[in-house]
Amino acid sequence: MSGPTIDPSLYRPRDIVKIRRALVSVSDKTQLIELATALVAAGVEIVSTGSTGVAIAGAGIRVTQVADVTGYPESLDGRVRTLHPAIHSGLLADLRLESHEQELAVQGIEPFELVVSNLYPFVETIAAGVTGDAAIEQIDIGGPAMVRASAKNHANVAVVTSPVSYPIIYKALKLGGTTLAQRRRLATEAFQHTAAYDTAVADWFVGNPWSDAEAEGPHRDAPATFDLHANLSTTLRYGENSHQAAALYTRQGGRGIAQSIQLGGKEMSYNNYVDADAALRAAYDFSEPAVAIIKHANPCGIAVADTIELAHQRAHACDPVSAYGGVIAANGTITLAAAQSIKPIFTEVVIAPAYEPAALALLQTKKDLRILQLPADFARETSEFKQLSGGVLIQDADAHFAPFDSWTLVTGSPADAATRADLEFAWRACRAVKSNAILLANDGASVGVGMGQVNRVDSCNLAVNRAGERAVGSVAASDAFFPFADGAEILIAAGVRAIVQPGGSIRDQLVIDACAAAGVTMYLTGERHFFH
């Protein structure tokens, strides 16, 4: 089906459009009364609906109800309000065309020159845990129809979808009307607004992101389409390198590092954001107080403890040389004691869910230290995507850890309570390390990390060398199986007392035999944690 075609010669030129009549219907009522006051002062008739009209009238401002324009009352519990020819003809009439102007006159319909509308808070509703019919009722129908109609007809109508853009209207009221360039810009924002809204609704229906919400496991069907909509938050100085342009965009409803508040320090860089997100990923793998120190997206140290202060000290002790200029993430409040532990060390970024006032004041004395506070409703992403040439890869976030009770003891003595705790810690911490990954741990802290090598033997050597004498009596975790016994033999020779790994190699028995000969305990988890 094709749309109508009009002879281009029939269009009359139009740039400045004086605002005489405005349709106002908003969910976000920020600065609503200020806007309505300015419109009425400029002689603009305001037509409104529901709670918006009540709020405007309640402030003593003249307002015409939509029902008075349509001659039809709001119905079906408010589902039908503006879906009427008396409204949409006024939105879609292209007054550059004499025929449209004449048709409105015959029908007795007045055009609108301004629409102010933002949509039902669907994203906020589902973020609060609302489901089922209650969530369905927050799917806006009339709002998107008004916004899209006005944006299509931007030659004649200015459409505003955010209070951020109200200053454009204030300026237009003083100067005699909106310009075509302004209306085109506002129309662009309007289509972006409705696109993001529709994407959020669609993602909710398909299970965000998978299409069969009732299916489980890695083999369930993926959705036929994947839409990503994000708004420009800030332009960064540069990307990974100084010759690369970069910017930060935020997704509607996002509750992660992109929505964090900066409380001090220099502006964030591209690399700062990447490392800070990796640090959060590591710290929030644990429920007990945890700190992760990240450099170039890899851990310099990860630790859990009774306090954030102690967790930081033990994480830093893993590799103090690499931690210089690193990024620190904590999964709990930064106390004054924790801030005193962090302050002497050159650090690029500290990120946490909260700061004690004294701790924040102390850290703010370091003028270059970037201090980020997570949004109050911070939540881990449930899915991850990665751009590649010509497309996008998407997967579930790696948030599953096989419980200890499901592990298989293949050699050595069963782990005592302390060894079990260290093995469980190492298995979780290892997931934050780039593959091939080997992590040595003792008493709830990493003591040596081997990361990002193209063979597991090099990763084992790197972890052992960084641990030094601390390797003796430690436990080790490997993110994937040992293809040969040589990697495990390096760990055994360094004094590792127990090893946890996925298993699954055709040479598993050789690895098991090497551990058995040395009296080293080994568990197989049956799952791996590659991180590329």
Q: Residue 234 in contact with residue 258, Cβ under 8 Å?
A: no
Q: Determine whether 100 is an active site residue.
A: no
CA distance 61 to 34: 10
Task: Give me the helix-helix angle, 32-41 and 50-58, nearest 10°.
Answer: 70
Q: Residue 125 in contact with residue 138, Cβ under 8 Å?
A: yes
Length in residues, the chain: 532
CA distance 446 to 102: 78
Q: Determine whether 296 is an active site residue.
A: yes
Cα angle value 324/330/335 (rounded, 5°): 95
Tokens of 248: 């930060």
Residues in contact with 138: Cβ distance below 8 Å, sequence separation at least 6, in sequence order: 120, 121, 122, 125, 126, 130
Tokens of 235: 């332009």
Pick from 387, 382, 399, 402: nearest CA to 213: 382
Radius of gyration of the chain (CA): 30
In sequence order, what E strands does 170-325 have?
230-236, 246-251, 261-264, 290-295, 298-304
Cα angle value 414/416/420 (rounded, 5°): 90
Tokens of 447: 């003591």
Tokens of 325: 């200029």
DSSP 8-state class, residue 334: B
Residues in contact with 172: Cβ distance below 8 Å, sequence separation at least 6, in sequence order: 19, 158, 178, 179, 182
Supply φ then ψ for residue 117, to 5 degrees: -155, 130
Residue 1, classed as helix, strand or coil, is: coil
Select which of 84, 152, 229, 266 is catalytic.
152
CA distance 528 to 401: 9
CB count in 10 Å sphere of residue 288: 12
DSSP 8-state class, residue 256: S
Select which of 18, 29, 229, 296 is catalytic.
296
- Residues annotated as part of the active site: 152, 296
